[in-house]
Amino acid sequence: MSTPGPPRLVIAVDVGGTAIKAARCSVTAADVQVLAEHSLATPVGSGVPAVLAAITETIGSLREGPVGGVGVIMPGAVDAENGIARYSANLGWRNLPIRAQLAQRAGLPVAIDHDVRAAARAELALGAARGHSHALFVSIGTGIAAASIIEGTVTVGARQLAGELGHVPVFPDGARCACGQRGCTETYASAAAIARRYAHASGRPATAQDVLARAAAGEPAAHEVFQQAVTALARSLVFATLLTDPGLIVLGGGLSLAGAALLDPVRQQLTDALAWRPPPELTSARFGAKAGQVGAALLGARAAGLASQA
């Protein structure tokens, strides 16, 4: 981004499978500040027009003051350059020209991006990866996905499908993943998987954060589930390190809020596995679970012509 100037207003929208979360933000070259927020349930199963109407409603609810643009992030296969949502299993999108349709509905310039790549750009521009030309951003939440930063640019891949770290198989003949493979990283290390595997092992429901706390307290079932999660995550990071040689790995998403309880054991296994070379630095995202929101705000600024893309 350019040198600091007066803040400009944009609307950041995060379209998820369960909720559409939006915020009116002020953006400068140095920071993003949230001024107001609004969310509503994603009308999954009601068709594309219903989802577009819900997104438009969230934008309208926050349109106060001189809003210059809208940034919209989403999961799935996203062609950000051409403004097309190529594929989303949960939302039912297939080659949807969402940027043009939302711009027409909202009467504002719109930019779109994949949610994890937008989060990576936020950390690159303003957060933990700032100043790093080679890094890996990993989001650990309901699922696991990554964005690779090479020569200061977030890569998207030939088919804009780069970053599916959650579907790197790490346990041969392991548990079946929803993608059809076995032993995938996110089947063991995502927040949803940790909660699910603990409930199966103990017969008691718990959040992933609860499981980490119980593992630290020495509960056997929680300890086993957490250790498998750490091993799965560390193995996938070994593969990523050997392939792209990042100088820094940034862990984001909700589970990253665990801090040292997650970073320390993952760092140790990563170091042990990379026997012949030094491991990359490992740290938590500056923006935690809000990195996507910040990335969407930066997108909105770019749509308004107020900032360049990280």
Whether the Cβ atoms of residue 128 and residue 250 lie closer than 8 Å to each other: yes
* Residue whose pair of structure tokens reads 């100043």 in the numeric block: 131
- Is the pLDDT score of 230 beyond 60? yes
pLDDT digits over 7-17, tens only?
A: 689 999 999 88
How far apart CA 298 and CA 255 sit, in angstroms, is: 23
- Average per-residue pLDDT for the chain: 93
Task: Report the phi/psi class of residue 265: left, alpha or beta, with left for phi > 0 and alpha for psi in -120 to 50.
Answer: alpha
What average pLDDT score do residues 253-267 get?
94
Beta strands in the chain (DSSP E): 8-15, 19-27, 32-41, 67-74, 77-79, 84-88, 93-96, 110-114, 135-140, 144-150, 153-154, 248-252, 281-284
How far apart CA 280 and CA 267 sit, in angstroms, is: 9
pLDDT digits over 164-220, tens only?
A: 999 999 999 999 998 889 999 999 999 999 999 999 999 999 999 999 999 999 999
**Helix pair 260-273, 220-244: axis angle to 10 deg:** 50
How far apart CA 238 and CA 273 sit, in angstroms, is: 7
Q: Higher pLDDT residue, 310 or 72?
A: 72
How far apart CA 236 and CA 135 sit, in angstroms, is: 15
